[in-house]
Amino acid sequence: MSHLTHAETLVTALEGIVATAAEGLAAKSEKDGRISTALLDQHQTVAYDLASVASAVAAARHLLGYGEKGDHEAALALAYAADVAVDLQGRVAGRQSQWGLEGDVLAEVADALAAGRDPQFLADLADKVLANGEAGPRHLSEELEMVRQTFRRFAEDKVMPVAEEVHRHDRDIPENVISGLAELGCFALSIPEEYGGFSAGGEDELLNMVLVTEELSRGSLGVAGSLITRPEIIGTAILKGGTDEQKQTWLPAIASGEKMCGVAVTEPDYGSDVAGVKMSATRDGDDWVLNGVKTWCTFGGRADYLLVLARTDPDRSLGHRGLSLFVVEKPAFEGHEWKAEQDGGGSLDARAIPTIGYRGMHSFEISFDKWRVPHANLIGEDDGLGRGFYLQMQAFANARLQTAARALGVMQSALEHATGYAKERHVFDTPLADYEINRTKIARMAALIAACRVFATDVARQLARGDDDAALAASQVKQLSCRVSEWVTREAQQIHGGYGYAEEYTVSRLFVDARVLSIFEGADEVLALRVIARTLLGNALVS
C-alpha cells in the first residue's frame, strides 16, 4: 500500500477514536442539555489528553491534502499520522475505561502504524530534509512566496545579526528593526485598506500574517517574531468594537508603525481566569480613573498604546460582563524600568520581569495609580461598556494563530541548525547525519513541522472566511504547534550535544524561547480544557 493510503487509514481510525471518546465524556459532563464545567472538571486528565489528541488528529487530516502533492509529502503525512497514533496509545494505556474504549484501539490499523514507524522508512525520509533544511515543499503562490522571501531577507539581514546580543544581555529591540518592519508594512497586514493597512479581504489575508510571523520568528522570537502580535490584538479589538472615529484615529497610526502597542490584561492573581480581573475603572466626568496592577505586559515600555481590560462595573458578581477595554496612551520608554506621571497626580510605575528567554520584548508589571483615561478611549464608548471580555476573546483568536506561526519560525530555525550541524559534526569518524537515530529524529521533526505549517495555513483561511469552526481550529493549532516546538527545539539541542547547551550556539536560545509559547496567548491546559474539550463535547452532544 502507498504511504498516503496508510496515512488515510490511520487518520480515519484516529478520528473514530476521538469521536467515541468525546461522546462518552460528553455524556458524563452533560447537565440540562449542556456541558457542565463542574462535571467536566471531574475528568480533567482524560479531557486534557482527548483535547490534545484531537488537535493533533485535526492537523493529520489537513496534512492528508498536502500528502497528495508528491511522494515526499505523502511520506511526511504517514510519519506524522503514525506519530499521533503512538501518542494516543500512550495516553489511553491503562485508562481505556475512562476513554470509553476497549482493548487495543489500533489493532485493526497495525500494518499502517508499522509502516509509519519503520526506522528505515524514517531514515530515508530524512534524506530530503538534510539536503535543504526544509520539512517539505511550501506550495505557495508566487505572490505569497514573494512576501515570505521579502521578510526572510529582512530577518537574515537585520534580525539575526543582533539576535544573540539581545538575548544574552536582555537588550531592547533595536529601533532600526522596528522602523524597518514599519517600512515593509509589517504592522499593516491585518488592518483594512481604508485605515491605511494592506488587508483587502479575501481568503489569504491572514496567511500573509502567518508567513511574515514565521520568517521573523525564524530570525528571533524576541527581537522580531512577536512584534506583530500586539498590533494584531489591539487592531482586531478596535475593528470589532470601536466607533468610526476611534478606528480613524487609532488604526492608521498602528498600521504605519507610528504607534507601538502593548496588551495589559493579565493580573498577578488572574491569568487565564480573565473574567476575575480586579483592575477598576471608575467614571469621573469625561474621564475614567484606572487603579490596579497588570502583569506580563509584553513590550509595555516601548508601547505608545496599551490595551487595558478593566472592571467598569463594581459589581463583581457580573464577572466578565462587568469588564471593558480601554486604549491607554502613554509615552514610550526604553530599558527595564520606567514611570509615567500625569499632571493631575496619576502615575504608571513599571518594572520588567526577568525571564529565561523571549528577551528583547521585555514583559512588565505595571501599577496603575489614579491614571486618567478619556471616555473617548473606551473602545466603543457607551456601547463598549461591559463588552471588553467579548472583544478581547475575539481578538485572541487571530493572536492564537499568530502564536502558532511564531512556534513554526522557532521550529524551522531549530531544524536548520540541527541538519546543518548533523552534516558537519563527526563522531567516531562518522557524520552525525549518518546515524539512524539522528535521521529518525530529523524525520520526525520535519513531519511535525509540516503538520503544524499546513494546519496553520488552513486555519488562516478558515478565519478569513469566517467559518463556524475557525475559533476552535485556531485554538487547536496554537496548542499543538506550541507544544510540538518544545520537543523540536529540545531534539535540535540534543543533536548538538554539549555545544547545544552553550550560549554561543543559537539552538540554546531557541530551546528557552520555545518554552514560553505554551504559556501565553492561552495556556496549554486552559485551551485544552476550557476551549477545545468543551467545544468537542458540545458538538458531540448535538451530533
DSSP calls for 124-187: HHHHHHHHHS-SS-----HHHHHHHHHHHHHIIIIIHHHHHHHHHHTPPPPHHHHHHHHHTTGG
Over range 402-412, report the average pLDDT. Answer: 97
| Rounded Cα gap, residues 141 and 211, in angstroms | 12
pLDDT for position 513: 97
Strand 280-284 and strand 323-329: the pairing is unpaired
Paired with 151 in beta bridges are none
- Least confident span in 117-126, 183-192, 451-460: 183-192
Of 54-58, 157-161, 163-167, 196-200, where does mean pLDDT reach its minimum? Answer: 196-200
Active-site pick, 214, 215, 365, 521: 521
Domain with CATH 2.40.110.10 in the chain: 261-388
542 Cβ contact list (under 8 Å, min separation 6)? none
Q: With bands split at pLDDT 50, 70 and 90, how would you rate the model's confidence at 190?
A: confident
Grid coordinates representing 89 are 496509545
pLDDT of residue 316: 81
d(C-alpha 503, C-alpha 487), whole Å = 19
Residue 280, burial from CB neighbour count under 10 angstroms (0-12, 13-18, 19+): middle
- For residues 349-368, average pLDDT: 95
8 Å CB contact between 286 and 280: no
pLDDT over threshold 70, residue 279? yes
Residue 317 has a pLDDT of 82
pLDDT per position as a tens digit, 133-142: 999 999 999 9
| Strand partners of residue 366 | 294, 350
* 470-495 vs 388-424: helix crossing angle, rounded to 10: 30
Average pLDDT over residues 181-188: 95
**CA–CA dist 468, 473 (Å, integer):** 10
Q: Reply yes or no on whether the pLDDT at 274 is more than 70.
A: no
| Cβ neighbour number for residue 176 with a 10 Å cutoff | 10
Kindly report which listed range (261-275, 350-364, 485-499, 510-524) carries the lowest average pLDDT score.
261-275
Q: What is the pLDDT of residues 8-31, one digit of tens each?
A: 999 999 999 999 999 999 999 999
In the three-class reduction of DSSP (H, G, I as helix; E, B as strand; rest coil), residue 177 is classed as helix
Q: What does the block give as the cell for 126?
A: 530524512
Nine-digit cell string for 543: 451530533
Mean pLDDT (whole number) for 33-55: 97
At residue 420 the predicted structure's pLDDT band, cuts being 50, 70 and 90, is very high
Output the CA angle 161-221-487, nearest 5 degrees. 115
What is the DSSP code (8-state) at residue 109? G
Residue 470 has pLDDT above 60, yes or no: yes
pLDDT at 429: 94
- Over its C-alpha atoms, the chain yields an Rg (Å, rounded) of 24
State the pLDDT at residue 347: 97
Kindly state the helix (H) or strand (E) to which residue 305 belongs, with its residue range: strand 305-311
Q: Which CATH superfamily is domain 261-388 in?
A: Butyryl-CoA Dehydrogenase, subunit A, domain 2 (2.40.110.10)
Dihedral sign for Cα atoms in the order 288, 293, 298, 300 = positive
For residue 103, name the pLDDT band (cuts at 50, 70, 90): confident
* Strands 261-264 and 305-311, bridge-based pairing: parallel
Helix or strand run (H / E) with residue 140:
none
Which region among 101-105, 377-381, 496-500 has the lowest average model confidence (pLDDT)?
Answer: 101-105
Cα(229)–Cα(240) distance, integer angstroms: 17
Separation in Å, CA 363 to CA 5, 66, 228, 335, 357: 47, 38, 15, 11, 11
Q: Which amino acid, 331?
A: P
Residue 275 has pLDDT above 70, yes or no: no
pLDDT for the residue numbered 225? 94
User: How would residue 522 be classed by pLDDT, with cut points 50, 70 and 90?
Assistant: confident
pLDDT band at 270 (very low <50, low <70, confident <90, very high): low
- Whether 357 and 513 have beta carbons less than 8 Å apart is answered as yes
pLDDT of residue 268: 87
Question: Residue 271: pLDDT above 60?
Answer: no
Residue 455: in which H helix or E strand, if any? helix 436-465
Predicted local distance difference test score (pLDDT) of residue 440: 98
Contact status, residue 411 vs residue 449, Cβ threshold 8 Å: yes
Q: How many CA atoms lie within 13 A of 516 on its CB side?
A: 22
Q: Which helix (H) or strand (E) is 372 found in, with range?
A: strand 363-374
User: How confident is the model at residue 320, as a pLDDT?
Assistant: 83
- For 518-525, what is the mean pLDDT? 89
Helices 71-92 and 119-132 sit at what angle, rounded to 10 degrees? 130
pLDDT at 71 over 80: yes
Mean per-residue pLDDT, 2-10: 98
323-332: average pLDDT: 97
Confidence class for position 277, pLDDT limits 50, 70, 90: confident
Q: Check if 521 is active-site.
A: yes
Q: Is the pTM of this model over 0.75?
A: yes
C-beta pairs of 316-324 under 8 Å, 24+ apart in sequence: 318/386, 319/275, 319/276, 320/274, 320/275, 320/389, 320/390, 321/386, 321/389, 322/386, 323/275, 323/277, 323/386, 323/388, 323/389, 324/281, 324/378, 324/379, 324/384, 324/385, 324/386, 324/387, 324/388
pLDDT tops 70 at residue 235 = yes
Q: What is the mean pLDDT of residues 167-184?
A: 96
